A and B are shown apart, each in its own frame.
Chain A
C-alpha cells in the first residue's frame, strides 16, 4: 500500500518485539485463559488508550488485512479514530467500519453485535487483566491461586453481591471460566456481551501497562461464573433503540436536555447504522433531539 509511511517499520514495532509478542500469543492460544507475561513496549500513546491491544494488533496485521477499531461499540470516537489512523499510517492497511468486512477488529470494551466468523480476529484492550486483583492485590498470591485453581474468593465476592443487592451486581468485566480451568477477566465488556465470548473468531487480549497477553481460541468453552439458584443473566437497558428500534442490542443512554429527557441508542454504531439503512426506525427516528 502506498499509504504506509516508509519511515516506520511495517506495523510500527520492530521485528524482535513482534517476535516476542507473537511467541506470547501462541502460548496464550495453547493455554486458553492463562495470562502470559510479555515485555510490553512503550507505545506512542498513553497507557489506558489501548497500548496492549495495539501491540497485539501490530503483531498480527498483514498488508492484506482490513482493520476495524471500536471504542465502546463506536467507530467514530477519539480512541478508535486515533488507533485506526495509527495503523493506516504505520501499516498501510485498509480500514472499514463494517464488522462483516473486517478481518481484524480491535475493540475497547464491546463485542460487535454482528456475529463474528471464522477468519476474523478480535483484539481486546485490557486495563486490568487479573480478575482476582481487586480481591487480592499481590501478584505472587494471585499467580499461586491460578496455579492451584483456587477461585473460592471470586465466588465469595459474587455471593456477597447477592447478599448485599439480591443479585450479582457485577455489570461489566464479569468473570468467566475458560475450558473449566482458568478464571479470566473478559476486559470491561458489559456482561450482556459475555455469551458472545464463545465465538468462531480468534479472540486476543492485550494489557500493555500490566504486561499480559491472553487468548480464547475459536469455539472455546467460556462460562460466566454464577450459582445454581442465581444463574448468570446477560442484562441490558429495558428499552428499544430510539434510532433503529432494535430490541436485542446493547444500548447507551444519552441525556438530551436538562429536563430529564433521554434516549437509548445502540452502542454498536455500525450495527445501528446498518439497521437504519435497511429501513428500521425507532421512537425518535427523524426527530430533532438536539
Chain B
C-alpha cells in the first residue's frame, strides 16, 4: 500500500460530510443545478468531487463497482482505507464510479424492483465539462426547465421511461457536481 492512500480524506468528517451532503441533496432535489464541493483528494483519476461523494455516501454497506480506468491499485487502496466499501461486479453494485463513457453498458446495473425501486444503483460519472447548458431537463425539482451538459441523451430518456425503476446519477468534474435522478425528463435542447 502506498502511503498516499492514507491521505486525502476529510480532516473534520462530521462537518465536511454534512456540507458535502447538503450540496448533493440540493443537486438531487434540483436537477441541473451545479454545486462545488471540496475537502477530499483521491489518487488519479478520481476527481475531487467524486472523492467527496465517496466519503460522504459510501461505506462498508455499499458495494462499489469501479469502471475500467478507475479500477487501479492506488484507487482501490484509497477506498479500502478511507471508505471500506467492498469492490464488486457491476451487476451487484449499489454505487458505481468511473468516467461516464466507461460506465457503459448501462443496462447491466441494478434498477430496483417494483416493490423496492430504491434498491437501485447510484452512478457517479466523471465528465470533462459540466455546465448549465445543453440538454433540456423537466420534471420534479425543476420549476420550468433547466439545462445541463449531459454526455448523451438517449440513455437518460430510456432510464426515465423505466420510472419508478431506474438508476440515478451524479456527474462530477473537478470540484463541481450535478445530479440527474430517474424522475427527470431529458430532451435535446
Contact = CB atoms under 8 A, between A and B. Distances in A.
B56 A179 contact: no
A20 B61 contact: yes
Contacts, number: 120
Contact of B29 (A10, A34, A61, A218): A218
Contacts of A148: 114
Nearest to B95: A23
B182 interface: yes
A183 B76 CA distance: 42
Contacts of B56: 19, 22
Contacts of B142: 219
A22 B21 contact: yes
Interface of B: 13-15, 17-19, 21-22, 24-26, 28-30, 56-59, 61-62, 113-118, 120, 122, 139-143, 163-164, 168, 181-183
A181 interface: yes
A62 interface: yes
A147 B183 contact: no
A178 to B, nearest CB: 8
Chain A: number of interface residues, binned into ranges:
35 or more
B29 A29 contact: yes
Contact of A27 (B14, B17, B26, B168): B168
Contacts of A217: 28-30, 140-141, 183
B118 A32 contact: no
A10 B59 contact: no
B19 to A, nearest CB: 5
Nearest to A30: B181
Contacts of B116: 37, 143
A83 interface: no
A11 B140 contact: no
A30 B28 contact: yes
18 contacts: A15-B14, A19-B58, A22-B56, A26-B24, A27-B118, A29-B141, A30-B28, A31-B164, A60-B21, A60-B22, A60-B25, A143-B116, A146-B115, A200-B143, A202-B26, A217-B140, A219-B143, A221-B140
A24 interface: yes
